[in-house]
């Protein structure tokens, strides 16, 4: 998948049990979709908390945050509650969505840490990759969204 490509629509179950469809979320504003290896681990906790702590900045830009991993819904729910996360965590147990986005590792290994900024028209604006710099994902996604807002003349 390259910047400018249309992203494939998908629907997965969230930590709260509801089904979340990407196209429905895009109706609300741009989506920042971040894949993380495994819920309740130190790096994924740090990354998710950083996305949580920047809630106001994402809201100012009208963006939705969505986390995704292969963890079962129950583990995602524990992760969300434990960390006070205010965005959906989606369960992709067969890693089919991770495969489409190129975030799936071969075999039984956990997914790669990768973030995708998707515009309301369903086009990929940016891909952010870093296995260790967990803050980088939210920070760079905000930079992309701010640039988009400036281009459209509605920067904040």
* Residue 48: closest CA among 10, 24, 83, 74: 83
Catalytic residue among 14, 39, 44, 124: 44
Tell me the pTM. Answer: 0.91
In this prediction, residue 60 carries a pLDDT of: 96
Angle at 37 between CA 32 and CA 141, to 5 degrees: 20
Residue 45: helix, strand or coil by DSSP? helix
Average of per-residue pLDDT values in the chain: 93
| pLDDT over threshold 90, residue 132 | no
Which of 25, 34, 38 lies closest to 71, judged by CA?
38
Return the percentage of the chain with pLDDT > 70, whole number: 96
Q: What is the pLDDT of residues 7-33, one digit of tens each?
A: 999 999 999 999 999 999 999 999 999
| Structural class in CATH, domain 11-152 | alpha beta
Q: What's the pLDDT at 12?
A: 98
Distances (CA, A) of 39 to 6, 64, 100, 129: 28, 20, 21, 18
Residue closest to 34 by CA, chosen among 67, 11, 2: 67
DSSP 70-106: SS-HHHHHHHHHHHT--S-EEE-TT-HHHHHHT-PPS
Active site residue 123: no
């Amino acid at each position: 998948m390259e910047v400018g490509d249309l992203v494939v629509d998908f629907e997965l179950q969230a930590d709260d049990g509801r089904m979340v469809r990407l196209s429905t979320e895009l109706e609300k504003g741009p989506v920042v979709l971040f894949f993380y290896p495994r819920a309740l681990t130190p790096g994924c906790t740090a990354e998710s908390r950083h996305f949580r702590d920047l809630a106001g900045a994402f809201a100012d830009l009208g963006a939705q945050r969505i986390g995704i991993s292969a963890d079962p819904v129950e583990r995602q729910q524990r992760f969300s509650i434990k960390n006070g996360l205010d965005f959906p965590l989606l369960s992709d147990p067969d890693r089919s969505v991770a495969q489409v986005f190129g975030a799936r590792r071969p075999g039984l290994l956990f997914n790669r840490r990768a973030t995708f900024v998707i515009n309301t028209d369903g086009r990929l604006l940016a891909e952010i990759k870093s296995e260790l710099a967990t803050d980088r994902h939210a920070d760079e996604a905000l930079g992309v969204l701010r640039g988009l807002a400036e281009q459209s003349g509605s920067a904040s």
